[in-house]
Amino acid sequence: MIDFKGRVAIVTGAGGGLGKQHALALARRGAKVVVNDLGGARDGSGGSASAAQAVVDEIRAAGGEAIANAASVTDFAAVQAMVQQAVDTWGRVDILVNNAGILRDKTFAKMDLADFRLVLDVHLMGAVHCTKAVWPLMTEQKYGRIVMTTSSTGLYGNFGQSNYGAAKLALVGLMQTLALEGAKHDIRVNCLAPTAATRMTEDLMPEAVLQALKPEAVVPAMLVLASADAPTRTTLCAGAGSFEAAHITMTQGVWIGLDQDADSRLAEQLAVVTDRAGETVPPNGSAQGTHEVGRAMAKLGKS
């Protein structure tokens, strides 16, 4: 098993479901764990510290070390206090698993903008708040492992979840840049796209499928992404014992130029532009421009 002895981890949304399994697994492998959970309903309403405390009690009963925290990830001051609580207790923070989330599902046509904003606030800004709070510590200690929880909805779309999908894909974009910025400090940032049966998904899948998708089956991917030997800038998908990787790729495309009929020529060659043969995973955002300018210079130089 991957060893986390001496490491301190914060897991948000860890009062139940997938977050609870993350916290238990890290503790079993030696990590000291801050179990964070607001204790609210699936839609984010309400709150109670009892859910987090119950997980802490389970970890301690098994011989592990854990403390409970009921901060809302939408409250940056409360998140900063949570991180300070970890430092005051154990002196450092090595691992952050951004798992907290809510659902407010409706079709875009029927969705209230307040529900759109709230889902972004919890999933995206919640992860931003927690990451911002631990970043200076990880930079100073030259070590950090951050796991963002994205989703197949963000990567590929899902009917009735425009708010959730927008938030979840935004976390991939956040990961892409933070992985680059954190590299010199050995801060590795990755994404996990889980398929698991929790209260977040219980209304979305048939019972037989839910039984096959135990949250525990996702945990190995989190452990790898949070480990000392973790990759960085990687999105792992996990569910029912299967593991995959998701990539944002760029096709080879074509050079069309700036003539007045460029739009018509692009339309005619769109199938070539979208042909995935030879596609690449750019190392950073500037690689797109480098590819495009390089092709233009090569074409114009020959004319």
Catalytic residue among 83, 164, 167, 191: 164
Distances (CA, A) of 173 to 100, 151, 234: 18, 13, 11
143 among known catalytic residues: no
Give how far Cα 7 sits from Cα of 3, 94, 189, 269, Å. 9, 6, 16, 53
Nearest to 127 by CA among 157, 102, 97, 151: 97
Residue pair 7/187 in contact by the 8 Å Cβ criterion:
no
HEC profile for the chain?
CCCCCCCEEEECCCCCHHHHHHHHHHHHCCCEEEEECCCCCCCCCCCCCHHHHHHHHHHHHCCCCEEEECCCCCCHHHHHHHHHHHHHHHCCCCEEEECCCCCCCECCCCCCHHHHHHHHHHHHHHHHHHHHHHHHHHHHHCCEEEEEECCHHHHHCCCCEHHHHHHHHHHHHHHHHHHHHHHHHCEEEEEEEECCCCCCCCCCCCHHHHHHCCHHHCHHHHHHHHCCCCCCCCEEEEECCEEEEECCCECCCCCCCCCCCHHHHHHHCHHHHCCCCCCECCCCCHHHHHHHHHHHHHHHHHC
Q: Vertex 238, ends 233 and 145: CA angle to 5°? A: 35
Catalytic residues: 164
